[in-house]
Amino acid sequence: MNKFIRVDMTTMKVTTEEVPAKYAGLGGRALTSNFINDEVKPTCHALGKNNKLIFAPGLLSGTTAPNSGRLSVGGKSPLTGTIKESNTGGSFSQKMAKMGIKALVVEGMPSDDKYYVIKIDIKGVTIDEAPAEILGGCGNYRAIEVLSEKYGEKVGIGLAGPAGEHRLPSANISFKDPEGNIRSAGRGGLGAVMGSKRVKAIVIDDTGAGAVAVADPEKFRAAAKVFAKAILDHPVSGQGLAAYGTDVLINILNEAGGLPAYNFTAGRIDHNDNICGETLNAVITERGGEGKVSHGCHAGCIMRCSQWYPDKQGKYITSGFEYETIWGLGADAGIKDLDEIAYIDREMDDIGVDSIETAVAVATAMEGGLLPWGDGKAVLEAVKEIRTATPLGRILGSGTSVVGKVCGLYRTPVVKDQGIPAYDPRPVKGIGLTYATSTMGADHTAGYCISGNILKVGADIDPLKKDGQIEYSRAMQIGTAAVDSTGMCLFVYFGIADNPGGYQALIDMINAQYGISLTAEDVDKLGESVLKVERAFNKAAGFTNAHDRLPEFFEYEPCPPHNVVWDFTPEEIDEVYAFEKEEALNS
């Protein structure tokens, strides 16, 4: 990957450079975060002309390495005001990598009010006016059809949906998956940044591109085999996720008393059977038709944790139907009907809003009296209003923090204005530390301490106790920052956490591809360096340790059934990023 493409939407000029030397060894999140910290003024307005959007495949994307097809999207977030890396499946990343594109940067802002499509193929980059029929409320499913018809069935597509056109803080960037359905770079509102730059879609056609160059193909193949086996041998990544999807977590978290319910007033629900992964599997199996129990979000995925969820007639409703969304609508907002949840999930995908942020916002709106508790039909109608940008639609599309403000709530579950997902930080303390300190705002994927706290993968730490959590959240955040730089799906962690050979195989693949000799320590250093760069950006944007805090109500409202509160002191929380301090002292 030797191309670094910049599209300037102010001048409508495209430049293709050699990859700057300082970015040569970076991919995915390491590249997007370094670039944003280098080129974006931290105090700029996220929706103004000085923000930039960068799309970067991971180091291993485009190769035959299993599960390496994730794409990182970076920018300053209009939701949090922090730096943001949001990553996604779909086919975009692999196509970029195969075409040798290390990064695509979108900068500036046109002075007219048209929308544009950036089209990339082996001949170069063009900027077309967007077809009128995909604008002004056209859903993402239809827009993908129209663009695929126009540019070719096999193109990759990244898309700002109606929410992105409205520049709402929860707008995601939607990506076409191999079957023409939707994956999302969900969190942090980067779809609004794309909308602000008047880019409706980016289309990538890799026809004629070769394979990704691999320095030592034989070593690569051998390592990939070991790596694949490690993933498939593990009960979570090899079986659980394929059978029940991520929704397998409903019963696990409910049992653990860490499933936030009714806007974080409890950690357990009674209607878990209605919405759990086991039920999801049974419904899909029973309904048949277009339903699929197991499906991958990108070519080369061997875990296949996604499903196609069908209606009673067997017709596809939605896919990428994740635990966090089902939790948000089903437990936190109390909607007891999985079909209702599925239709809301489809609507969110079609409009292009983050289904985690929006689900948490919905539950918060219920506490604020804007919506009736548990009423899936009312929620679907309300979510539809995001498309037309009614006042209610704008509120819900602006995320949990705005909902809390307009409803005058102090029980607003956000960190750095990003909604807290799916795992209560009081009875699962490790994830609480990640929420508090992540550079991204509350984000479970930034350091998934559920693993060692609840699933007992990679570590065995009592979720109700503080012991060991600080070091654990730190290690998980560092490791994640590294994995997010490889193009790997985060779930590969399950396969390699307790399998040193699997982990070594991941490093071996990178070494074989690039003809280098990274060690495990180097990978750790990479992760640390990514977090430091992100913290530097955030600090310059005005963030301090005072922002690394959970909402105050967690400190004095015990969470049943364990009736525990959030009891880390500010000083303890700040220890998570101790490596930053040590560096400063040593320098």
Secondary structure of 480-500 as H, E, C letters:
HHHHCCCCCCCCHHHHHHCCH
In the complex, the smallest distance separating the C-beta of residue 353 from a copy of itself, rounded to whole angstroms, is: 13
405 binds a copy of itself (CB under 8 A): yes
178 binds a copy of itself (CB under 8 A): no
Distance CA 104, CA 368 (A): 41
Distance CA 422, CA 250 (A): 9
Cβ nearer to a copy of itself, comparing 397 with 447: 397
Cβ nearer to a copy of itself, comparing 126 with 390: 390
Determine the interface stretch with a copy of itself among 85-93, 121-129, 226-234, 387-395 (rule: CB under 8 A).
Answer: 387-395
147 binds a copy of itself (CB under 8 A): no
Determine the interface stretch with a copy of itself among 92-100, 122-130, 398-406, 476-484 (rule: CB under 8 A).
Answer: 398-406
First to last CA, the chain: 34
Q: Which residues of 351-363 are buried (b: 16+ CB within 10 A; e: fewer)?
A: bbbbbbbbbbbbb
CA 582 to chain centre: 30
Q: Which of 117, 110, 96, 118 is nearest to 19 (CA)?
A: 96
Sheet-wide strand order for 13-18: 13-18, 3-8, 101-107, 53-57, 71-76, 83-88
Single residue of 53, 168, 360, 415 touching a copy of itself by CB under 8 A: 168
384 binds a copy of itself (CB under 8 A): no
In the complex, the smallest distance separating the C-beta of residue 432 from a copy of itself, rounded to whole angstroms, is: 16
- Contact of 343 with 380, CB cutoff 8 Å: yes
Distance CA 148, CA 157 (A): 8
Determine the interface stretch with a copy of itself among 63-71, 331-339, 524-532, 547-555 (rule: CB under 8 A).
Answer: 547-555
Cβ nearer to a copy of itself, comparing 132 with 546: 546
| Contacts of a copy of itself in 103-122 (CB under 8 A) | none
In the complex, the smallest distance separating the C-beta of residue 584 from a copy of itself, rounded to whole angstroms, is: 17
Helix (H, G, I), strand (E, B) or coil at 252: helix
DSSP 8-state secondary structure symbol assigned to residue 353: B
In the complex, the smallest distance separating the C-beta of residue 531 from a copy of itself, rounded to whole angstroms, is: 19
565 binds a copy of itself (CB under 8 A): no
In the complex, the smallest distance separating the C-beta of residue 434 from a copy of itself, rounded to whole angstroms, is: 19
395 binds a copy of itself (CB under 8 A): yes
Cβ nearer to a copy of itself, comparing 48 with 137: 48
Q: Which of 578, 514, 538 is nearest to 25 (CA)?
A: 514
DSSP 382-432: HHHHHHHT-HHHHHHHT-HHHHHHHTT-S---EETTEEPPSS-TTTSHHHH
200 binds a copy of itself (CB under 8 A): no
**CA neighbours closer than 13 Å in the CB half-sphere of residue 240:** 18
In the complex, the smallest distance separating the C-beta of residue 227 from a copy of itself, rounded to whole angstroms, is: 42
Q: Could you tell me the two tokens for 578?
A: 């101790």
| Contacts of a copy of itself in 26-85 (CB under 8 A) | 42-50, 78
Distance CA 478, CA 473 (A): 9
In the complex, the smallest distance separating the C-beta of residue 533 from a copy of itself, rounded to whole angstroms, is: 17
198 binds a copy of itself (CB under 8 A): no
521 binds a copy of itself (CB under 8 A): no
568 binds a copy of itself (CB under 8 A): no
Q: Which residues would be at the binding site for a copy of itself (CB under 8 A)?
A: 42-50, 78, 166-169, 192, 195-196, 370, 390-392, 394-395, 397-398, 402, 405-410, 412, 540-544, 546-547, 549, 551-553, 556
